[in-house]
Structure 1
Amino acid sequence: MTVPERAATVLVVDDAAANRYVLGTWLRRAGHRVVEAATGTEALARVDDTDVELVFLDVNLPDLDGFTVCDRIKNNPAAAGVPVVFVSATSVDVTDRTRGLSEGADAYLTEPIDPDELVATAHAMLRYSRARQRAERLARRLALLASATLTINAARSVEDVLAAAASGASAVFDAPAVASAVDHAGDGITVAASGGRSRAYRHPAAGGLIEDGVQVVTDPPPHWLQALEPTGPGTPWLASVVPARPRRAPTAVALLRPGTAHEDEDRDLLSQLGQATALAVDALRSYAEERDVALTIQRSLLPRDLPAVRGAQVAFRYVPAIATAEIGGDFYEIADVDGRLLVAIGDVVGHSLRAATVMAELRHALRAYAVDGHGPAEILSRLDAMLRRYHPGTLATVLLLTVDPATGTVVAASGGHLPPLLSTTAGAEYVGVRGTILGVGPFRRPEVTFTIPDGGSLVLVTDGLVEMRGTAIDEGMEQLRTLSMPVDDDLERYCDRVLRVLAESRGEDDIALLVLRRTSAQQ
């Protein structure tokens, strides 16, 4: 007799003890473990409390007939895949065999039965059952792998990628898992564990992960052990180690599998998950590098230092959009022109190198026009003409003011930009400065004159600070007005407070913020 690849627990159900003994002896000689039942009720109980892989079932039982027992086994979700073989010495005609097979049995044997036929039938049923179980298990794991891969690819940070990889590996393999990667700067490592635990380490150690590919690790890095406390050294791990890019530290996804023999299927699935994780980490690293370059260029186009002017205090912030690595067109400007302050804030529509280039041109042009002695309205007209001539189709909003710190007199004009917010001891209100966006034509953009009282502050922002998708911009502007009653004595603290409250709920656009306070000329 040929012993199957793996022995099974077989349930023999017959009300005759002699029959159970004979069938059980043949099956035990073939290497199987046998459990017995004398009634249908007892058989159903054995199926529930024993890891039965195959049932030999007598058709005629004293309490329930075999057909009923078979039907209940097949309708039990936990045992539906267990093969059932009918055995009978009396119900042997075609009608009985047809009924048995029609009601769910996988085979039907009639006595007298040859021992080799019985064992061969058992082996055939087990091969079929195990192949079906492997196929179902693989389909289920592939579905979980696909779901995990989607989550990994949708993640927007390395930390989220690793958390999705660890959770996905735990779901696919039904085991604790970790995922780790070195950050793009190369000076720290992040580890995420299934169950939501995540830690960052400043001094990564390879911990024996020198070879690439799927490998059994018995001496894992300390950060894996710490992430899945309590575990100890010597416990076998199955790890997929993938260099995200040549000459870069690897990304790893690892399973804690104590006492488990690792099958080829496990290795293949873990390899796919590791590759998906490494590719996602590599993409985010590249994104971070590109974003660093973009921000460096962006900041180089903005003024690094603002002039110190007697009678005025100034603070400013520029916050890049979280959702894009491209360069934006938000800008601010402040310059001393013959004892007056030229103050501007604006936004070139779009996120691209072109938008940043146009932004830089606008900044330099408005300074040049101001030096020539033009007022805010005339400067905006000239900027509009420049845009339409040299950058047709490009739109921009600009708020331009000249401020006399000695008297507090402000002359302002707007090219479609948000109005300035004037904060005084009496409260905070927006000044009604309106005009047409630049780049659409030579429309009139009237000047408005008002006064900043001593100690009063002007707050200028771009729409990224007060606009949120699905919410009217008026709501954000009202929030800013409320936060500016009053403006903090420390303007830097005020900027930090406003960004903390407003910017965290937005983040889909660049933010420029400039606040100017008029102080006593003696200060």
Structure 2
Amino acid sequence: MTLEPSILLADDDEVGRYVVATMLRRAGFAVTEVADGLSAVSAALESPPDLAVLDVKMPGLDGFEACRRIKSHDDTRHIPVLMLSATFMETEAQVEGLETGADVYLTQPVEAPVLAATIRSLLRARSLETEVRLAAAEWRTTFDAISDAVAVLDGDGVVVRANRAFHATFGEDVVGARVPALDIARDSGELELELGDRTHSLRIDLVPDEIGAAPRMVVTLSDITAAKRSERERAAAFAREQTISRTLQQSLLPERLPSDERLALHAWHLAAEQELIVGGDWYDVIETHDGLWLVIGDVAGHGVAAAAQAGQLRHSLRVYAHEGFGLAESVTRLNELVTGTELTDMATMCILALSTDADDVRIVSAGHPPPVLLPADGPPRLAVTGHGVVLGVLGATYEELTFTFAPGDRLVLYTDGLVERPGEMIDDALQRLVDACADTAGLEPLRAHLFATLVGNEHPRDDVALLLAQRQVL
């Protein structure tokens, strides 16, 4: 049985409060009523509601101050607040309310459908925020589980984020400060660091930051003291590192691909030549109410930070898809997530929506190379032209395009590690890929042919993710 969303309603006017409470209960909400702002704060702290509706003008503690106090507590700061006013509010008053943490204003009298729809919209947004916070917490747990001391430093050498092992080495207050020992090691070019009676190897990975800004650094300290320098222990440490890398990389990929008689799928991921450095290349297949979303993505840079961001983007996109958002809106929300939070790395992504009962495919690209379409009755070609704006650009908008995916046709989605070569123009690289797609039937043979032709037998310079699809002829 689904519980009714709980609403805290605060209004000193008994008649007005009765009218609003009645509308809310008829709309399916559980309502707790209080008559003043102070009681609203107490009730919220005692039993946090799903949403608070506060009248602006109340004796003693008005709606503004009640909102401010509710938002100032950790247990209630995430509660959406809807402000009600019996009269039109001037701009200054609206600004004051928003600055105290209010999410939306409505002027009374308000129609019941408008009130209910507004509240449901706020509750959906809160649910989505909760999902994203849980995803961030899961990735923080993964970050802390790594035995090496890992930290992200900004361009000035200040620690931005650190895992549990790094805190244990340098102290709990290390975030927001510079670590002198790291400054000395970086300036001298030393790859080993003496800390007390322990010796650590030092690895620094540069991660591109905002355009024009100094790159961030992912610093990894691994304990290599004499007790661990025997050949057997070094081999064991190497094996542990491989396990961590594989675990992090595999967590970016689906455990299985959906099975559908109308669509054959095949996917592959090949790590870069530096196989201990986790990459940000990923793919996903998301089942929706009317078909499938095929997704391919690539976060700039390598290392734990890139893998963590790729994982959060993948998880967030799944939430948006299951919430019913469209392709363009989902990509826009991901861009807002990147530009509005601590996710600072640029990323590319391409999403295709395949319907179960139509040949048209909808596609939105955020700076990602276009997929290759292999028609059953014609030569291969790029499915669409253009590639949109990468994730991480403030205010970017995204356009949804369509193309036909008929029975027997195949699709190739890939990351840039498959085609990019030093000194080669991207158009020439894409043409090499299109040419390589000719004259090979099936999906697994096509995958093997593409890797043999474009990658060879060695690990590539960059990670490669590949997602192939074929519309079955029934």
TM-score, structure 1 length as denominator? 0.44
- If asked which structure has higher relative contact order (CA below 8 Å, sep 6+), I would say 2
The structure number with the bigger radius of gyration is 1
TM-score, structure 2 length as denominator? 0.49
